[in-house]
Structure 1
């Protein structure tokens, strides 16, 4: 069922051309929002602008283009991100700088550029995509976990900084989702079928999270009706972070 509760609002979704971002863009559009996808690739379904969130100038030009096209910015979904595999000794400094530049500073760049526009909105909200890796120790995810842990802390700090302005800041924390990035990881495994089965089995629900499930949580956190939701992390992880199922 769809509604028009976002009618007249403009939502920016970074990394919105695929995976969770694409599902979020679809979900906002289905509920009446104007959707602006910022991504390295064009969206085949929504208005989009090429943008590398590791480049501050590109971010500023993209947000200016959104403002010119739609007239304002009401919702920012900081979803663009990249992955990393390895222990703390296996990733180079170059990899650390790159992942933090995209996963953490990319959110900083987009948020600070959008803040002047959000202050003009009647329903401003920021939703950051973090991960269960932010608060749960996972094997060979040191760099990725550190970047998402920083996003979790950033979300809380931003929520505190901007609550008096009426700008709500929350994050969604997915488990292992069935996205193109996870598919690429599976393709690199010696036995992709066995590796997928392992990833599915470690989540108490016995399956991967769908992008649409994460998108529904993002929309919920951004919904203008939820005025008391700020500084919240919403887990969509099949129970992985909180449940211990003993067979």
Structure 2
């Protein structure tokens, strides 16, 4: 059974790997045996150092995913530095908050471009590599998209974020439909309320923080490390027959 979760010899691209959820997932994959291509707007130095401490190869790939310009380069640099593209974790994302009546086109486009458009085209680029690898030697590729509670719910004051994360759920299912027979497993993780930079405003808002805590059955905010087990499962051979699933890691939020 342990061998089913072993990622030794695999290479994982993790976007937004310099902090928060991305870092937590990258380190869990490294601990399970994967080599790491740590993608971020700022260098993921700490993530790479910690991954190397597990005895893995780990490389920094600097890229700003507010546009699709770096997509092909991310794939090419990963292959050049680490050899293969076996796992992709699409974690990079941004959020903009404002009332719907005041929300700007600029804030709409910025979030959709990063959270959904770049995610799709990175899936596309990685998917081409994974399909070719499956046709060549039967190697199964794994794509894990980071969704959200707002993939299922509407939220408030984050219209472009809700739209983007709803789209992530739909794209995940579409790609699973197209690629399941081609050796690529496409799934998503929907984190609950995780203590990261993206949620700093909510954590510091006494009223909203109290409301959130009252609804979480686990009674606490999540930690980025709480996503690690789910990521290893979806990246490993243990999930080879799992397709198009959105796995909530939310302390029971959706069950409430």
Range with greater deviation from structure 2 (35-44 or 53-62): 53-62
Matches within 5 A, 1:1-150: 5-43=6-44, 44-46=46-48, 47-119=59-131, 120=133, 122-150=139-167
Using the alignment, how far apart are the partners of 1:197 and 1:82 within structure 2?
23
Using the alignment, how far apart are the partners of 1:218 and 1:184 within structure 2?
26
Using the alignment, how far apart are the partners of 1:7 and 1:184 within structure 2?
38
TM-score w.r.t. length of structure 2: 0.87
Question: Are residues 144 and 57 of structure 1, via their aligned partners in 2, closer, same or farther at CA, if it must alter by over 3 Å?
Answer: closer
Question: Are residues 88 and 184 of structure 1, via their aligned partners in 2, closer, same or farther at CA, if it must alter by over 3 Å?
Answer: closer
Using the alignment, how far apart are the partners of 2:96 and 2:118 within structure 1?
16
Q: Where does structure 1 lack aligned partners over 5 or more consecutive residues?
A: none
Alignment root-mean-square deviation, CA: 1.7
Are the counterparts in 2 of residues 87 and 143 from structure 1 also a CA contact under 8 Å?
no
Q: Deviations over 1:20-42 (max 9, x none)?
A: 00001100110110011110011
Q: Does 1:155 align with 2:172?
A: yes
TM-score w.r.t. length of structure 1: 0.90
Are the counterparts in 2 of residues 53 and 110 from structure 1 also a CA contact under 8 Å?
no
Choose from 198, 216, 225 the match for 2:229: 216
Are the counterparts in 2 of residues 80 and 106 from structure 1 also a CA contact under 8 Å?
no
Q: Where does structure 2 lack aligned partners over 5 or more consecutive residues?
A: 49-58
Are the counterparts in 2 of residues 53 and 80 from structure 1 also a CA contact under 8 Å?
yes
Q: Deviations over 1:55-106 (max 9, x none)?
A: 3231211221111011110000000000122332221011111100000011
Are the counterparts in 2 of residues 172 and 235 from structure 1 also a CA contact under 8 Å?
yes
Q: Deviations over 1:117-140 (max 9, x none)?
A: 212151301000000111113222
Structure with the largest fraction of helix:
2
Using the alignment, how far apart are the partners of 1:220 and 1:113 within structure 2?
23
Range with greater deviation from structure 2 (177-186 or 121-130): 177-186
Q: What SS does structure 2 have at the residue aligned with 1:11?
A: strand
Tell me the matched-pair count: 238
Range with greater deviation from structure 2 (145-154 or 196-205): 196-205
Q: What SS does structure 1 have at the residue aligned with 2:231?
A: helix
